[in-house]
Amino acid sequence: MQERLVELKTEALEKVAQAEDAKALQDVKVQYLGKKGPITEVLRGMGKLPKEERPVIGQMANDVREEISTAIDEKQTKMEEAALEKQLQEETIDVTLPGRPAQTGGPHLLTSLIEEIEDLFIGMGFEIAEGPEVEVDYYNFEALNLPKGHPARDMQDSFYITEEMLMRTHTSPVQARTMEQHKGKGPVKVICPGKVYRRDTDDATHSHQFTQIEGLLVDKHVRMSDLKGVLNAFAKQMFGEEREIRLRPSFFPFTEPSVEMDISCKMCGGEGCSVCKGTGWIEILGAGMVHPNVLEMAGYDPNEYTGFAFGMGPERIAMLKYGIDDIRHFYTNDVRFLNQFHKA
């Protein structure tokens, strides 16, 4: 058996030396060190040996196995080093070549515009308030002077989830929740940006999902002139110092009196053109003094507190500011469109 073990070791080491790739090396390992290999057979046949020879043959068999295994590992390491060296030579990179610039993204146009509007109002002392997009009927309608069955609800065709829960149709519920949290004490001075949802048919000027920014100021002695001053500062900051504003009477259930705000057309300077339909003015947002019923439902005494509110659509602001003719461009993820406003 000793001669057989020496012979096996010699054969195995020769085949390890002759192996040219990983497969050939693995074949040698399986042939000599596997469960059905000759060294294993030698170990199994030790039971036929005299007791005094068994330890000697066992030790020798283990030494042969260890020597073959070590030779295989060393050969494998050399193969891997040679393969790596070959790969490095074949895939040499010229580090003196200029790198390829990586394309970088940026905030979406609407995101940038909303942040710009937020910064503008934060500079006036407003805070940012947010609320749930899945809203209960009470905050979306009833707390805003729109009880069940009120005809003005038809102005906002809604996505109802249950009879008492829906996708919010405006960010006004955030105003109602904020006033309620203040428990009848002022001042309250917030803007409420976020997504809103209505059952509109998508076209160039309508979308079933869009964004809104609404503002609210409630305190003692708040007047309509305060509202006009804030809106005038907003218009000049957003559209240019030369812009003029005008307020037209309108109707909203949650404000009284209510107004629509127009800005002078920047295309014609107020002279009248196709953009402003010959009027010289472009409608930009709705506003008004907070309705006494809304104040009362939020816990305020309307004889002591007054306030104003306004609401605008960032999509409309962006369309007017950048001359965009279709609201759907904001949501179709066309990189050709978005790249035009990467640095806007």
Q: Going by C-beta distance under 8 Å and a sequence separation of 6 or more, which residues neighbour residue 254?
A: 144, 145, 146, 172, 288, 290, 291, 294, 309
Residue 3 pLDDT greater than 80, yes or no? no
Rounded distance, CA 121 to CA 242, Å?
20
**pLDDT level of residue 47 (50, 70, 90 thresholds):** low
Written as six digits, the tokens of 39 are 């060294």
The string of pLDDT tens digits covering residues 107-166 is: 899 999 999 999 999 999 999 999 999 999 999 999 999 888 777 666 667 888 998 999
Rounded distance, CA 281 to CA 262, Å?
6
Helix 2-18 crosses helix 54-90 at what angle (to 10 degrees)?
0
> What average pLDDT does the segment 254-272 reach?
87
The string of pLDDT tens digits covering residues 183-232 is: 999 899 999 999 999 888 888 888 899 999 999 999 999 999 999 999 99
53 annotated to bind ligand: no
- In this structure, the strands spanning 127-128 and 188-197 are parallel
Half-sphere exposure of 178 (CA within 13 A, CB side): 25
DSSP, collapsed to helix, strand or coil, labels residue 59 as helix
> What average pLDDT does the segment 43-68 reach?
75
What is residue 275's predicted lDDT score, i.e. its pLDDT?
A: 72
Rounded distance, CA 80 to CA 233, Å?
71
> What average pLDDT does the segment 257-265 reach?
93
Q: H-type helices in the chain, by residue range?
A: 2-18, 22-33, 38-44, 54-90, 109-122, 137-140, 172-181, 224-239, 292-297, 314-322, 335-338
> What average pLDDT does the segment 298-308 reach?
95
Task: Find how far residue 145's CA is from the centre of its chain.
Answer: 34
Residue 269 pLDDT greater than 80, yes or no? no
Rounded distance, CA 184 to CA 207, Å?
36
Cis peptide leading into 249, omega within 30 of 0? no
Residues shown for the chain? 344
What is residue 254's predicted lDDT score, i.e. its pLDDT?
A: 93
